[in-house]
Structure 1
Amino acid sequence: MRLWLSILLAGAACVLTSPADAGVTVLLKTRTYAVSGETGADLIGAMGRTGPMQGFMTRSVAQTTYAVDWNLVTQTAGRACRIVQAEPTLRLTYTYPEAGDLTPALAKRWKVFLAGTRRHERGHGRIAIDMVADAAGKVAGMSLSDDPFCRRLRAAAHRRIDAIKAEYELKQQAYDRKEHGPGGHVEKLVEALIAEP
């Protein structure tokens, strides 16, 4: 069972960024990859062979990835520079397996498995959205008194964004530890999928 688990969602890739309220734009994309099999174990094996790469050596069943573009709107007054608005755009991508031609019993278990997998990935997405919202709020209003071209202020803002991102990466990791741990959500999904009637 542990082998299937490590093959399965060996740590869905993390997300770190974006808010759907305070001036944040979230661009959502969903990708799929094909798997096939006659049993739940077959499907788990197919995901382990063809799922999205997680690092250099491991594949995961599903994955959440992101990229954030920041538009920092600045205003100068004399030699002073201030960030009056932080406008992040989060490009959030979910990748899921897709299976066809399943027996009715396996299709029913697959549907439950996929719904649970989507729920797990959306959890990563929520953490990313919270991170971006947090960063946007903490960057807007930053200022420097002697930075007429705003270069130092922009660099300082990106350092702050990176620090906040690192904090939320720890939250992503804690979320995965809970979800993937013994008796966790992911283990239960795998067990239900490979259970034969």
Structure 2
Amino acid sequence: MRIGAGILGAALCLGMVPLKASAQSEWQSVEQIQTYSITGDSGVDLYASIGERGPKIGKEVRAIAHTNFKLTWTRDYRPQPDGACTLVSARPKLIITYTLPKPASALSSELKRKWDVFFTGVHKHELVHGVIITDMVKEIERVSVGLSVADDPKCAKIRTELTAKLGEISKAQQKRSSDYDRMEMGEGGNVHQLILQFVNGAGR
């Protein structure tokens, strides 16, 4: 999630929690949290510090929080007696990293109460991005395992076909994440309300 004009604009993004095993094979993602330090004695100051120190999205925009992932695969392509090639297994290794803000020093009791509400909401928002990423990996696994291409004894054509399928799945994941951010961070959205309440107590 990123900070934009005014309080915030449309965003692209917010552990160690094992996820449910895939239906295709027994695997679990690894989720981890990284933090960056912020300073301030009020909600306004802490939010301003987030704007100065938050993770960069692109060259210009600073994020409140960010979800990133590293995905690698172990795939087993098997030439078939009829000259086809079949992908008989595809096992993912998925590491999801959430980058979240953390006050560098102790907060007053009232400010800590407000911070805890804000942080919890931001973290929950980013966890949904983690679910979207995990769903993408499960969909990749679903379309990969059992994929077969005729007249491909060297298992070259199948890689090209699989790459095309993966590109479409990745685009769908990016759109789903963008749509979610737009809803959450737009006027009246959950994250928009969290920020208003944290900075000045306004909102629903």
TM over 0.5: yes
Q: Aligned in 2, Cα 1:74/1:25: closer, same or farther, shift over 3 Å? A: farther
Q: Aligned in 2, Cα 1:114/1:88: closer, same or farther, shift over 3 Å? A: same
Query: What TM-score do you get using the length of structure 2 for normalisation?
Result: 0.86
Higher RCO, 1 vs 2 (CA within 8 Å, ≥6 residues apart): 1
Q: How does 1:35-114 map to 2 (within 5 A)?
A: 35-78=38-81, 79-99=83-103, 100-114=105-119
State the identity as a percent.
Answer: 31
| CA shift for structure 1 position 192 | 1.4
Give 5+ residue unaligned stretches, structure 2.
none
Q: How does 1:143-154 map to 2 (within 5 A)?
A: 143-154=148-159
The residue that corresponds to 1:140 in the other structure is 145
Whether the 8 Å contact between 2:12 and 2:177 is mirrored in structure 1 is no
1:178 maps to a residue whose letter is M
Give 5+ residue unaligned stretches, structure 1.
none
Q: Name the SS of the counterpart of 1:88 in structure 2.
A: strand
Whether the 8 Å contact between 1:86 and 1:137 is mirrored in structure 2 is no
What is the total number of aligned residue pairs between the two structures?
A: 191
| CA shift for structure 1 position 109 | 0.3
Query: What TM-score do you get using the length of structure 1 for normalisation?
Result: 0.89
The residue that corresponds to 2:11 in the other structure is 11
Q: Name the SS of the counterpart of 2:29 in structure 1.
A: strand
| CA shift for structure 1 position 67 | 2.1
Off by >4 Å, runs of 4+ in structure 1: none
CA RMSD of aligned residues (A): 2.1
- 1:38-84 CA distances to partner (integer Å, 9 max, x unpaired)? 11010110000000001110000100011211222122223221011
| CA shift for structure 1 position 107 | 0.5
Deviation larger for 125-134 or 19-28: 19-28
Is 2:192 the counterpart of 1:187? yes
Whether the 8 Å contact between 1:19 and 1:132 is mirrored in structure 2 is no
Q: Name the SS of the counterpart of 1:113 in structure 2.
A: helix
1:118 maps to a residue whose letter is H
